[in-house]
Structure 1
């Protein structure tokens, strides 16, 4: 499609963009986008979609990204830029990408401030929010400490602190035990509107790390009665940073106590848990909140929903004609080579309550891995070099 023939569209950019593409499609908005996978269903949801290369840390590679966006979404055809994960470690890249476009989200400066572990810890203390101790040098006794990469996302970068040396971009945080949770909320720069609380699922044995994102289940409220305090924290962070649009905060609950872990000043992976009827389209609410208009009130979904990420436990090649079930998403293309620890897909479940939805999602996750193992080609002595998902650089299928 020639640039002059392209319709006006929103530009979506994220490390994994299917959630944003799905939200735009539910809202009936025309979108084009770029992410690191260009999975089958993502391409089907957007007018155009491009796969971006990833760097050695699994982040979006900056080389050529701005130029690719200019070809995909020329400034005169761009209705606005909506971004997801992948820019936390490189906010300057976001600033370059947003130049000449309406940024529908928090500016690069807010992203940089929230991704600076020492600075964010100082902000949390100033706002009197419970927050674990952080430092830039290894603790004298590493027991009970974690090593993290500043600006990392998805949890793949988190490790036990023992044996980790000080180096640029790495910081150390005291581990907080308890139930990991999150809050998804809208902000207009001053006030917030809570969308919903979530409980994060523990990483399965196949995941690339103990703290890798493995999915979540939507909750009626935060455990331990800490919901009001967490919402107050979101409100304080919004006032301090001028947050806009969809945001998320991660926290841990232990009994009736809680501790803030991090702020994600962008739409998070739990967006898809709540972007269902009777909830209004969250993509539109994100845009309106960025423009300073919050909804007065929001309904709650009638059923509970959960998502779980399936990770490969062995080297697999996705076979031609593999029958992906309706409850799966983030679908790799035929002949994609998956190494142990690679994400395979996401599964969705709906049930009467949160526990039932979680159990159904975990069952679906196991079922999809068994199906792939049974139908797929298991690599034995070859193809040990990790390859990224094979997909066309540009898809023109999808939204009408």
Structure 2
């Protein structure tokens, strides 16, 4: 074993799996503690609210010794009782505030969606804090904006002009002053009337004529950010390229990046944190991977065991779990030598999973 690592955050399965595959002994502090998290960890501690996360981390660190800790979404600024393998909280904070991030991009004179003038519609609204895009929305009038504000009372937000294009990202490794891109990804948004801009999956690679420019811009902004290890840069890709945000931590694209490239992002993360940028092998042609999260259309109780469907599924709930309407049930994967074949594989696997769940 390379060492003992604590992975902490709202959801950790994707990072724990990568760390275990890299040869680490893993313990996790996680909100969900799904079945397959236990496959990659010696111990898992569940917490309910993010306010409970610091105490959960403190408690596990009193019982075990760790060589270092890696954080995921929700834990970026938590005090670390053990050495942090990642970007320090003081450097992360500007990238957890959408307004400060906008100012950072403006200072670099990067292409970004402009701030919307007051009273102009339609407009794109996003809370200044939070991850996953679940509260983002397009509003078309002052009444719609007030209704949206009422959903999140007192929460400050950023209003931007709407830009057309496809949500995408670049997965990078930074060493604090340089960065190298690992993969270009297409992001899958949930769609629908509620949480339309919530992250619900990814395709790697994203074949687009803008890929080289995305890589150039992403490497430049990650280098300028001072962040280390795994860092994601989100874009809207249309006729023009627009930067959206920096994610100074492991991203939800970990699974498809590793499936498509064959790399181990945890090893690359550690190298970047130690000041070593990876020399990546040439991209392997004919390797596409896609992930889609299935959501509950109504409240349900998990009465079957989905573990038998692995490896086409992950984030597997325990039998007896109650999932609220709109809640995530499970992740489903597809792979293939072309994008079309990967999507067809995903569609077939979703049919298999839904057929099994129809018996619940």
Task: With the length of structure 1 as denominator, give the TM-score of the two structures.
Answer: 0.81
Q: Which of 328, 334, 355 is the matching residue for 1:343?
A: 328
- CA distance in 1 between counterparts of 2:258 and 2:243 reads 25
Residue of structure 2 equivalent to 1:391? none
Unaligned 5+ runs, structure 1 = 1-6, 55-60, 377-400
Equivalent residue number for residue 41 of structure 1: 36
- 2:285 is the counterpart of 1:297: no
Q: Say if 2:134 is the partner of 1:156.
A: yes
Give the secondary structure class of the aligned counterpart of 1:19: helix
Query: Does the 8 A contact of 1:8 with 1:77 survive in 2?
Result: no
Aligned position for 1:110: 91
**2:51 corresponding residue in structure 1:** 62
**Structure 1 residues 1-400: aligned runs within 5 Å:** 9-54=4-49, 61-63=50-52, 65-74=53-62, 77-87=65-75, 91=77, 94=78, 96=79, 98=80, 100-134=81-115, 139-143=118-122, 145-161=123-139, 162=141, 163-165=144-146, 167-203=154-190, 205=192, 208-219=194-205, 221=207, 223=208, 225-255=209-239, 257-276=240-259, 279-301=262-284, 302-321=286-305, 324-326=308-310, 327-372=312-357, 374-376=358-360
Structure 2 CA distance for aligned equivalents of residues 246 and 168 of structure 1: 29
Distance verdict in 2 for CA 1:77–1:272, change over 3 Å: same
Superposed displacement of residue 313, structure 1: 1.1
Counterparts of 1:360 and 1:320 in 2: how far apart (Å)? 23
- Which of structures 1 and 2 has the larger relative contact order (alpha carbons within 8 angstroms, sep 6+)? 1
**How far 1:9 moved relative to its partner?**
1.6
C-alpha distance in structure 1 between counterparts of 2:261 and 2:252, whole Å: 19
Between the aligned partners of 2:309 and 2:84, the Cα distance in structure 1 is 36
Alpha-carbon spacing, 1:281–1:323, altered in 2? closer, same or farther (3 Å): closer
Do the aligned partners of residues 369 and 312 (structure 1) sit closer, same or farther apart at CA in structure 2, a change above 3 Å counting? Answer: farther
Seen in structure 2, the aligned counterparts of structure 1 residues 121 and 202 have a Cα distance that, compared at 3 Å, is: closer
Maintained 8 Å contact 1:190/1:235: no
Superposed CA deviations along residues 31-65 of structure 1, whole A, max 9, x for unmatched, are 101111000001221011111112xxxxxx223x2
CA-CA distance at 1:370 after TM superposition = 3.8
CA distance in 2, matches of 1:253, 1:29: 37
TM-score by length of 2: 0.89
CA contact (8 A) 1:33 1:50 kept: yes
Distance 1:262 1:109, change over 3 A: same
Q: How many residues align?
A: 348
1:201 offset after TM fit, Å? 2.0
Deviations 1:320-353 (A, max 9, x none): 4456412011011111112221100001111011
- State the alpha-carbon separation in 2 of the partners of residues 322 and 270 from structure 1: 22
Change over 3 Å in CA distance of 1:220–1:150 after alignment to 2: closer
CA distance in 2, matches of 1:76, 1:319: 34
> How far apart, in 1, do the equivalents of 2:72 and 2:204 lie?
20
CA distance in 2, matches of 1:278, 1:120: 29
Deviation larger for 107-116 or 167-176? 167-176
Alpha-carbon distance change, 343 to 359 in structure 1, aligned in 2, over 3 angstroms: same
Distance 1:353 1:196 in 2: 16
